[in-house]
């Protein structure tokens, strides 16, 4: 995600210093006009806005702590990673205690959305900080302030809740159509434009038809998101029974194909039905 985002920032005329834990990935952006550096503190020193895009909250914490001594006073840190709400709130508290500022700004839209500048960006922070960050965020997509620090992560979890569940529903529709004698591709074409139309039916439905499960969004990443959703629900004192079922499906899938695209929920559903049919045959 970071690579196309950097290219969008450069195309908009911003000066960008880049750092990656794998330095070769940063060096690859030199030809586009970025300044790659090997030292993290050199990357953030003097910057008024710092953007992080990392795999999970614990990694963000490690990078933030290592960078903090070199951060300029009142610097604004935009974390566009997907983390837990509590982690984002902790990052905010840590930075503000040190005279810096923080916005959690996770995204939806994948690598393609980053490259096209069409990401959905969900931001949590103050109105004033968001006003400063918005022109920068606008280079990669449409940013919306959804509440105070941590609220961006809540909105992203809501997004992933809908994505994770809908992928499984589309998989069930595909399997039902095939098992009951309808053409799954024709079924999908017939219902598009009706109330069942969605981005998931469009993109992941096509993946399922093609059985193209090369990862865009990984099963392992979706499972991480599912667990973060349930953690947020527990913290809010609510129960999400459908999300618990979806999480169980991804837990099962992660045991065999964690690096596959999350639309491989279809494979898990097929395996479940084969196992059920086998058990029925043994019983009979």
Q: How far apart are CA 40 and CA 68, in angstroms?
A: 10
For the annotated catalytic residues, the residue numbers are 156
The alpha carbon of residue 146 and the mean position of all alpha carbons in its chain are separated, in whole angstroms, by 17
- Residues 6 or more apart in contact with residue 274 via CB below 8 angstroms: none
Structure tokens belonging to residue 141? 């997509």
Start-to-end CA distance of the chain, whole Å, equals 52
Structure tokens belonging to residue 178? 């095939």
Count CB neighbours of 98 within 10 A: 12
Q: Which residues on neighbouring strands pair with residue 101, listed in sequence order?
A: 76
Q: How far apart are CA 16 and CA 3, in angstroms?
A: 12
């Amino acid at each position: 995600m970071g690579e196309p985002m950097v290219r969008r920032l450069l195309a908009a005329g911003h000066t960008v210093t880049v750092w990656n834990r794998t330095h070769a990935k940063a060096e690859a952006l030199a030809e586009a006009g970025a300044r790659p550096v090997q030292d993290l503190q050199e990357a953030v020193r003097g910057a008024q806005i710092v953007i992080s895009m990392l795999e999970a909250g614990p990694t963000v914490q490690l990078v933030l702590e290592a960078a903090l001594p070199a951060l300029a006073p009142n610097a604004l840190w935009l974390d566009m990673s997907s983390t837990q709400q509590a982690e984002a709130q902790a990052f905010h508290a840590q930075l503000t205690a040190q005279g810096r500022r923080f916005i959690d700004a996770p995204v939806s839209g994948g690598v393609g959305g980053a490259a096209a500048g069409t990401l959905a960006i969900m931001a949590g922070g103050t109105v004033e900080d968001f006003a400063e960050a918005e022109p920068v965020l606008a280079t990669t997509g449409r940013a919306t302030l959804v509440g105070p620090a941590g609220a961006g992560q809540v909105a992203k979890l809501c997004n992933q809740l809908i994505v994770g569940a809908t992928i499984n529903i589309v998989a069930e529709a595909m399997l039902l159509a095939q098992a009951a004698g309808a053409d799954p591709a024709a079924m999908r074409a017939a219902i598009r434009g009706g109330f069942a139309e969605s981005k998931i039916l469009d993109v992941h439905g096509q993946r399922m038809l093609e059985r193209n499960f090369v990862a865009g969004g990984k099963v392992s990443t979706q499972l991480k998101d599912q667990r973060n959703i349930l953690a947020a629900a527990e913290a809010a004192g609510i129960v999400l029974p459908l999300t618990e079922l979806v999480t169980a499906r991804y837990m099962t899938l992660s045991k065999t194909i964690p690096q596959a695209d999350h639309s491989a929920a279809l494979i898990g559903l097929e395996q479940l039905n084969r196992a059920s049919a086998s058990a029925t045959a043994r019983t009979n």
